[in-house]
């Protein structure tokens, strides 16, 4: 006979467990899993076995920018206050090359934890605006990372202003632990070269750079269809998130700099874009997010999967001029 306790309404039991973190989302076809934690990433990362054992293959971080952005759009009251830190507490350039463990700045503290968990083959990506990019580059170099690319994510709808140039970019800083060992898989993200797309130049069809004919690795300035900021009636847009990165951005990062089955970490999960793509591409994933409300919707999004179809990414063209010459017939 069931006891009184055991016969509690199932809905209540479900409600409690659905509310609990850390939460695991299994990716059945690929046998991988995504785990989402709630809290300050500095505390969670310091305690994570995967960080202590240096098991991270890839870290992608899109931190709060200390711009007084509203991270409490769910009105849950548990969100990160994006202006609680003074700028010198957030990222103090005088702190950039202090010995490991002695950084006082929020930014260098979380970066150091991420670096300490990286495998030798691992990479660290940081999405960051002009304000802090220079300090972060100096810090990561001081920690012994190698800079692979200083990429720029370019978007057309920046905040309008008349007193200076309109800001239309964020930096995508790409570092690795050991340049001789880093994971690099450009094949799924190759694009059609301008020589093929615009000029019909036969030289691109017989080039000997190890890439397939007519294709190239994308350039370090990223733009194009689906690369805009996620706003307005964009199909990807998640209610109550205004800091969402486009899915194509994370697809490029994860596909090119990790392998299926690898472990990807995002310390600032937000609406969950990194988790959605990592999960979809058969990577294991750990996300940390300060706001429980954000983490809850991120989990739902990871379970649901991406909005975009990435099958057509390989071979796309980002040419900004129309075709000028038809390709030569065989
Ligand atoms: C810029 S948003 C990330 C957006 C994300 N890349 C996306 O595509 O949705 C930064 C996120 O970091 C979270 N956050 C801020 N401080 C944090 C901390 N100390 N630990 C964990 N998460 C934090 C905020 O709540 C916010 O959701």
Q: Per-residue pLDDT tens for 191-245?
A: 999 999 999 888 889 888 999 999 999 999 999 989 988 888 888 888 777 789 9
> pTM of whole model > 0.85?
yes
Is residue 257 within 6 Å of ligand 1 at its C-beta?
A: no
Q: What pLDDT score does 240 carry?
A: 74
Q: What is the pLDDT of residue 231?
A: 84
Query: Are 226 and 246 within 8 A, CB to CB?
Result: yes
Q: Is the pLDDT score of 274 beyond 50?
A: yes
How many CB atoms are located within 10 Å of the residue 74 CB? 17
Q: What is the mean pLDDT of the chain?
A: 90
- Give whole-number Cα distances, 51 to 11, 41, 132, 147, 330, in Å: 36, 12, 25, 21, 54
Q: Minimal CA–CA distance to 69: which of 131, 136, 161?
A: 131
289 lines ligand 1 (CB under 6 A): yes
Q: Which domains does the chain have, with CATH numbers?
A: 40-183 (3.40.50.150), 185-258+310-330 (no CATH)
Confidence grade of residue 8 (pLDDT, cut at 50, 70, 90)? very low
List the structure tokens of 245.
């990165």
Percent of the chain whose pLDDT exceeds 70: 93
Give SS3 for 27. Answer: strand
Give the atom of ligand 1 at the shortest distance from the alpha carbon of 245: 8
Most confident range (mean pLDDT) of 51-65, 67-81, 196-210, 225-239 is 51-65
Q: Is the pLDDT of residue 329 over 80?
A: no
Note the pLDDT of residue 11: 42
Ligand 1 centroid, distance to 62 Cα (angstroms): 7
């Amino acid at each position: 006979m069931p006891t009184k306790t055991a016969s509690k309404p199932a809905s209540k039991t479900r409600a409690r467990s659905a509310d609990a973190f850390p939460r695991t989302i299994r990716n059945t076809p690929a046998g991988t899993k995504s785990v989402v934690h709630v809290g300050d990433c500095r505390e969670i990362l310091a305690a994570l076995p995967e960080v202590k054992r240096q098991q991270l293959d890839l870290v992608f971080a899109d931190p709060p920018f200390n711009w007084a952005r509203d991270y409490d759009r769910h009105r849950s009251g548990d969100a990160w206050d994006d202006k609680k830190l003074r700028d010198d507490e957030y990222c103090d350039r005088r702190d950039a090359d202090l010995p490991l463990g002695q950084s006082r700045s929020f930014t260098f503290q979380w970066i150091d934890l991420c670096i300490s968990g990286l495998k030798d083959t691992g990479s660290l990506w940081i999405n960051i605006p002009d304000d802090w990019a220079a300090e972060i580059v100096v810090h990561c170099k001081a920690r012994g990372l190698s800079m692979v690319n200083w990429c720029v994510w370019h978007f057309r709808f920046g905040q309008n202003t008349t007193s200076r140039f309109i800001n239309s970019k964020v930096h995508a800083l790409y570092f690795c632990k050991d340049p001789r060992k880093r994971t690099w898989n450009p094949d799924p993200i190759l694009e059609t070269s301008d020589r093929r797309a615009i000029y019909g130049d036969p030289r691109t069809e017989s080039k000997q750079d190890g890439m397939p004919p007519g294709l190239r690795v994308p350039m370090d300035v990223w733009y194009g269809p689906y690369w805009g900021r996620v706003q307005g009636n964009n199909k990807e847009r998640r209610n109550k998130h205004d800091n969402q990165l486009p899915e194509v951005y994370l697809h490029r990062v994860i596909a090119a700099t990790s392998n299926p089955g690898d472990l990807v970490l995002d310390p600032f999960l937000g609406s969950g874009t990194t988790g959605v793509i990592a999960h979809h591409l058969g990577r294991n994933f750990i996300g940390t997010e300060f706001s429980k409300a954000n983490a809850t919707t991120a989990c739902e999004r990871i379970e649901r999967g991406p909005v975009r179809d990435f099958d057509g990414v390989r071979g796309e063209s980002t040419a900004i001029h129309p075709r000028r010459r038809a390709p030569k017939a065989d």
